[in-house]
Amino acid sequence: MNEFAAQHSILIVVLPKVVVLLFVLLTALAYLTWFERKVVAHIQSRWGPYRVGPHGLLQPLADGLKFLFKEDVTPAGADKFTYFLAPFLSLSLAITSIAVIPFGPKDFTVFGQSTPLAITNLNIGLLILFAITSMGVYGVALAGWSSNSKYSLLGGLRSSAQMISYELTLTMSVVGVILMAGTFNLSDIVQAQQGFYLGFLPRWNLIGAPFPQVIGFFLFFTAAVAETNRAPFDLVEAEQELVGGFHTEYASFKFAMFFMAEYSSMITVSCLATILFFGGWLSPFPQTGIWTWTHYIPSAVFAIAGVALIIHGVRYLTILGRVVLPVLGLVLCALAVLFAMPGVPDFVQGPFWFLLKIAIFIFVYVWLRGTLPRFRYDRLMTFGWKVLLPLSILNVVITSLAIVLAQK
């Protein structure tokens, strides 16, 4: 066993990371459905999931069981191979893209092998990620065509046109960041944003020199919302027009796989926006001088959340809630103590700030869905080709000029 570990140390290190990441990601996908339903419900003055477990925390489990045991109907005239391939392709591509995302700067050692907080750290990580995500259009197109339904075909065609159109803006919007960082490596892009202006203003690409990428960020996020088929660009599932879009003929777990792919793409886009424009895992506060107390923000956040859960749990309406919520609160308090131990605050800084920024972007995604009406298809395409794409090209030109002038 020791000889095998010595010969295949890289494999032994990578496989557990893949398993852990898949477990965390799939759990997050399940609870993103709960989070979205709860946030939209509160925006619209409703309760949202509340019955299945305390505050509906077991609702994702109930939904998963429902999809597993629901009748799985396959259209008689469908192309069987392509029909089953489409949801698998959409989900696998969406999950694979997470592999190149770095979650923190600190390496850790396992079996003598130093490994980063990522599945892989590639020099062309950004190109690989765009290559993977751009293939997601095949899942939509194949699902619409293979169902042998006019509604699915029309939905797949216009969804494909939408995704391809906004892919151009999405790619062009990040060129300014690449020019400023001089690399396609996602970790290096984050490292290039280290430091502070005036001692407290972070050097994030959003506000960094030589040309702040404010326009680039808004172009990127707008195109990403359309690329992931989310409201107000959710023409993929315009029910009042196309029954249900490209997935009209899908049911049971195949239907769920499309939505898992959508939520996974939301996480990927949020990771990218954080890395490219908001300093990735870098703290928004300086780490020295009077700001050293910020090292304990993760511990304080978990402690406050844990105490709040305990107080709320002991007064909850049901017996299950009065047991589960305090237990969760105690777990958070235990994590708060762990994060305050010597040497631990420095390690958790990166993952904490990275995940917090991702959570904010996910909230914005849900906020948009709960407040904005759906675009009309012709206006959607006009906005992409006549507004976003020219602005993204203009941003590249201005950024290039600013970099050249700064080097003189």
Nearest residue to 27 via CA among 52, 56, 57, 47: 57
**Average pLDDT, rounded, for the chain:** 88
User: 99 near 120, Cβ under 8 Å?
Assistant: yes
Task: Indicate the DSSP class of residue 234.
Answer: -
For 211-247, the pLDDT digits (tens) are: 999 999 999 999 999 888 888 888 766 655 656 778 8
Cα R_g (the chain), whole angstroms: 23
pTM, two decimals, is 0.91
Q: What angle do CA 28, 133, 93 make, to 5 degrees?
A: 60
Phi, psi of 297 (to 5 degrees): -60, -45
Task: Indicate the DSSP class of residue 199.
Answer: T
Q: Is 45 exposed, middle or buried (0-12, 13-18, 19+ CB in 10 A)?
A: exposed
User: 28 near 50, Cβ under 8 Å?
Assistant: no
Say how far apart CA 110 and CA 151 lie, in whole Å. 52
Say how far apart CA 106 and CA 115 lie, in whole Å. 9
For 148-199, the pLDDT digits (tens) are: 888 888 888 888 888 888 999 999 999 999 999 999 999 999 999 998 988 8
DSSP H helices in 229-340: 239-242, 252-277, 297-314, 319-339
For 272-322, the pLDDT digits (tens) are: 999 999 999 999 998 877 888 898 999 999 999 999 999 999 999 899 999
For 317-374, the pLDDT digits (tens) are: 899 999 999 999 999 999 999 999 988 888 898 899 999 999 999 999 999 988 888 8
Task: Indicate the DSSP class of residue 174.
Answer: T
Say how far apart CA 62 and CA 30 lie, in whole Å. 10
Say how far apart CA 17 and CA 128 lie, in whole Å. 19
Evaluate the omega torsion of the peptide bond into residue 210 and state whether it is cis, within 30 degrees of 0. yes
Nearest residue to 245 via CA among 361, 325, 99, 144: 144
Residue type, 353: W
Q: How many residues does the chain have?
A: 408
Helices 252-277 + 9-43 axis angle, to 10: 100
Task: Indicate the DSSP class of residue 209.
Answer: S
